[in-house]
A and B are shown apart, each in its own frame.
Chain A
Amino acid sequence: MSRTPLDTVEHAAATPDVELPWAELGLKKDEYERIVEILGRRPTGAELAMYSVMWSEHCSYKSSKVHLRQFGEKAPESDAMLVGIGENAGVVDVGQGYAVTFKVESHNHPSYVEPYQGAATGVGGIVRDIIAMGARPVAVVDPLRFGAADHPDTKRVLPGVVAGIGGYGNCLGLPNIGGEVVFDSCYQGNPLVNAGAIGVMRHEDIHLAKASGAGNKVILYGARTGGDGIGGASILASETFDTASDSASGTGKPSKRPAVQVGDPFQEKLLIECTLEAFKEKLVVGIQDLGAAGLSCATSELASNGSGGMRVTLDDVPLRDSTLSPEEILMSESQERMCAVVEPEKVDRFLEICEKWDVIATVIGEVTDGDRLEIHWHGGKIVDVDPRTVAHEGPVYERPYARPSWQDELQADDANKLPRPASSDELRDHVLKLVASPNQASKKWITSQYDHFVQGNTVLAQPEDSGMIRIDEETGLGVAIATDGNGRYAKLDPYAGAQLALAEAYRNVATTGAKPLAVSDCLNFGSPEDPAVMWQFAEAVRGLADACQQLGTPVTGGNVSLYNQTGEAAIHPTPVVAVLGVIDDVTRRTPVAFQEEGQLLYLLGDTREEFGGSAWSQVIHDHLGGLPPQVDLERERMLAEILISASRDGMIDSAHDLSDGGLIQAVVESALLGGKGARLVVPEGLDAFTFLFSESAGRAVVAVPRSEEVRFNDMCGARGLPVTRVGVVDGDAVQVQGEFQLSLEELRSAHEGTIPALLT
């Protein structure tokens, strides 16, 4: 225990000259000075701990805030939006009295350090955000990016990440219905482990993170608080702790602990059930999960969002380790904890429900009628702050940004000039190489480690274009979600790259028959202190905000992950975009797989010579240069409307969006999934190479039953969407007339053999 006197507010006021380790906690000098100015005295050790984690990049968005504002300023009018940016997760109206909440977050750094736990707790964190909104979680998705597929470290990181996601999500009983797996050497030391979740509730069940009503009790429930993950998600990187090895209350120095949290999915499952039962009985006034910055975040955000103040007695927090200092308790990121605000007369019932589920619950404080957040420890007041200054009025930076000098050269290195296949044999060879390349290969080895059946409502799961969940058994109402992001496109042009990510996710949702409604994003970039990276970030945000406005899909929330950088080498700018859609009747959904031989294949949209950032340029030439495909959002909207109408009216039996790998990749996937081949004819005006490999956006390939041919063509014609008949579902090979054919067997072994061979 501490031999130094407790660093209370009084003690701090009386000892203005005590030096605090603000720099070791990741604060800048001017930030520390601002804290002193806010408080009118030096902070106590506990106050400093709170400010340091809450003012970190991760919690305060201090570098990104000035750009993120555009998501609000340019937000399109949307009747669907019920809760927007700023809460734990956004909420949209999907009709019939249902509301859906969804969000994507990053858990990149911890997943590199400790792949299993890093990825597992990423799932845990996003799921608690969903519960905190009042919703039952119904599905998860995982967009993942790793270093080169054949790099030895990928064999360490990937299996651990996949096992962690499965180990946690499977144990929670959440179907994993979508996501992506991308390999690129730019992610070698900085894998991106993003995690998304969807929850469903009735409109009246929406809960918010705010503490209101003087006298209401603050209840901490779930796991005990331990020394794990102290400052883990904040910018307090582990080196911060190297110099402060012992824990001494009053110095504000946290002891050295592993920065990665450890997950207990069983505890989280109990937390879900117990929380939902408390919601059902209307016992909860406000609620917040404990994630990054732990109790510091939960108490200051609840108090800041509410109408009054809050008083907390830290001695009442159940601990795993009784030697923890108050600073450590405030900064701990122990998982599976939640904080609820409950009216006094409902506290007993709340605690009873927790006991039913064997969940520890403790009253640790109450809402006061003041406007201060006060925290007590051993009889002394160690925190006395205006919670808004901790939670919402942190520093804001206008980081300098500049278009990098190499951007022009990169764009001038035109991929359209790369040598193309000179013969039919070479064309065939390129197709085989493409579908077997790690990024285009089947990810079944990975996705079969995730439960996609649990809860009994999964309509579509990966490798479908979007995951789809039924939310009402009687009416068949459902929601769909797709996540997309192409770092190669974004590197060539971050503005267009972000728009292409949105366009692809939007298209993927529409391809399955659902109407796109809203967006969540996870913006993964390098260091904001590098003006080139900051330019990429600014451009990507501007592009995404503009595109969301044009497509009428507001951003409801999301996450920014910066500092994905090792030394000077930043990752490709990687905005990952999740689009949520709604479908009135899931029986109308459209799958990727070919259903019946004889059905006609139509290509929707325009095909141009666009190879910049393409899968072909990467697989065949290991090349990245030129410009990404052109963006035409009005075309995307028209295509989506046609895909949705066609699915609703039964005009198409299968559909697949065209994106990386182009048409041939899409046709091969549909053929393999359906176990039926295709005969393709190169349309007039296109050469075979461009027809097969171009990555022009705004396209899809659909299979139309012959009985629907006229009706379908009429619909496309009436709306002005270019539509080209390109073949027929037929046989047990994929054949391009006059060029080559590949048997399904050969394609299957190429497409499905790659990933297991690399990872086992």
Chain B
Amino acid sequence: MTARIGVVTFPGSLDDRDTRRAIRLAGAEPVALWHKDKDLHQVDAVVLPGGFSYGDYLRAGAISRFSPVMETVIEQAKAGLPVLGICNGFQILTEAHLLPGGMLGNDHLHFICRDQKLRVENADTAWTSDYTAGQEIHIPLKNMDGRYVADRYTLDKLEAEGRVVFRYLDFNPNGSLSDIAGITNEAGNVVGLMPHPEHAVEPLIGSGRTDGLPFFTSILKKLVNV
């Protein structure tokens, strides 16, 4: 038996197929979910993939957050369903208030695409248990609106509770506060990050590294052991 992991396609999602591939390569079963369908089709976890849902018009993630599928995702995430938001998915999670804070345009005002060095700060979440805390990894990053911001209180709380999951190392690519690349909710089942682990799952392709694969093996182990 393996785990069924859903990947939502919003209009304008771009990395949905890549994310399904990464799930398959990790040994789990990818399930395509559609934004207009509230039914999660008995998946064990959900990934909100990267892209420009609704063209990022209005504000990245602001429209998708109101999709029918998100009603169920929000409800079940609060009940413990593991949810991972990658890039645009992270933006949707903050817009949906499943994660605190929000994303602004990159401080240099350009789209940026690079192989980004990160430090894993928290290896206890549903999506990071196959890493070790303090591990340094390279994951591709590509976004226009990646600057993580939150008020002082929220930032202090995130730090105090160990909820900063990834931090940019050597170079902050977008002006994110406290070099934050990814965070989790209090329960550790919902994780959002700007870099794209699904583009680092095969040697040779993309960044040519497999540093992103543990995201998908982490969740698989967690789900299959339950």
Contacts and interface: CB of A to CB of B under 8 A. Distances in A.
Q: Do A and B come from one complex?
A: yes
Contacts of A454: 14-15, 18, 142, 199
Interface string A270-284: 100000000000000
Contacts of A270: 11-12
A692 B93 CA distance: 55
Given A357-B11, A358-B11, A456-B17, A451 B142 contact: yes
Contacts of A459: 204-205
Nearest to B207: A453
A586 interface: yes
Nearest to A265: B55
A449 B204 contact: no
Contacts of A171: 12, 14, 52, 55-56
A291 interface: no
A173 interface: yes
B114 interface: yes
A2 interface: no
Contacts of B56: 171
B52 A266 contact: yes
Nearest to B202: A456
A163 B110 contact: yes
A703 B110 CA distance: 36
Interface string A163-199: 1001100111100000000000000000000000000
Contact of A266 (B11, B140, B202): B11
Nearest to B112: A448
B205 A470 contact: yes
Contacts of A586: 204
Contacts of A737: none
A266 B198 contact: no
B52 A265 contact: yes
B147 interface: no
A457 interface: yes
A450 B144 CA distance: 10
Nearest to B141: A453
A452 interface: yes
Contacts of A456: 15, 17-18, 21-22, 198-199, 201-202, 205-206
B102 interface: no
Contacts of A449: 110-113
A173 B111 contact: no
Contacts of B51: 173
Interface in A704-749: none
Most buried by B among A265, A451, A470: A451
B196 interface: yes
Contacts of B202: 456
Contacts of A473: 21
Contact of A264 (B17, B55, B196): B55
Interface residues of A, number: 33
B196 A453 contact: yes
A96 interface: no
Interface residues of B, number: 31
Interface string A247-279: 000000000000000001111011000000000
A626 to B, nearest CB: 40
A22 to B, nearest CB: 40
Nearest to B199: A453
Contacts of B18: 454-456
Interface in A469-499: 470, 473
A449 B114 CA distance: 9
Interface in B64-119: 110-114
Nearest to A587: B204
B12 A455 contact: no
A564 interface: no
Nearest to B140: A453
B153 interface: no
A358 B11 CA distance: 9
Interface in B175-196: 196
A599 interface: no
Contacts of B54: 266
Interface in A343-360: 357-358
B55 A453 contact: no
A587 B202 CA distance: 11
Given A166-B111, A171-B55, A453 B11 contact: no
Nearest to B22: A456
Nearest to B56: A171
A724 B62 CA distance: 61
Nearest to A591: B208
Interface string A146-178: 000000000000000001001100111100000
A108 interface: no
B203 to A, nearest CB: 9
A117 interface: no
Given A265-B55, A459-B204, A459-B205, A451 B111 contact: yes
Contacts of B113: 447-453
B142 A170 contact: yes
A448 B114 contact: yes
B186 to A, nearest CB: 32
A447 B111 CA distance: 10
Most buried by A among B14, B15, B144, B201: B14
A173 B14 contact: yes
A173 B57 CA distance: 16
B214 to A, nearest CB: 17
A457 B52 contact: no
B30 to A, nearest CB: 13
Nearest to A452: B113
B81 to A, nearest CB: 25
Contacts of B201: 456
B15 A457 contact: no
Nearest to B24: A473
A447 B201 CA distance: 23
B204 A170 contact: no
Contact of B111 (A167, A269, A470, A587): A167
Interface in A421-463: 447-459
A458 B201 CA distance: 12
A167 B199 CA distance: 20
A456 B205 CA distance: 7
Contacts of B110: 163, 166, 448-449
Contacts of B196: 453
A452 B113 CA distance: 7
Interface of A: 163, 166-167, 170-173, 264-267, 269-270, 357-358, 447-459, 470, 473, 586-587, 589
22 contacts: A163-B111, A171-B52, A173-B14, A173-B15, A266-B11, A266-B57, A267-B55, A269-B12, A269-B14, A269-B52, A269-B55, A270-B11, A358-B11, A447-B113, A448-B113, A451-B113, A451-B142, A453-B142, A453-B206, A456-B199, A458-B205, A470-B205
Given A167-B111, A447-B113, A470-B205, 7 more contacts: A163-B110, A269-B12, A448-B114, A449-B110, A456-B15, A456-B206, A459-B205
8 nearest A-B pairs in the assembled complex, by CB-CB distance: A266-B55, A173-B14, A456-B18, A453-B199, A171-B52, A453-B140, A451-B142, A453-B206
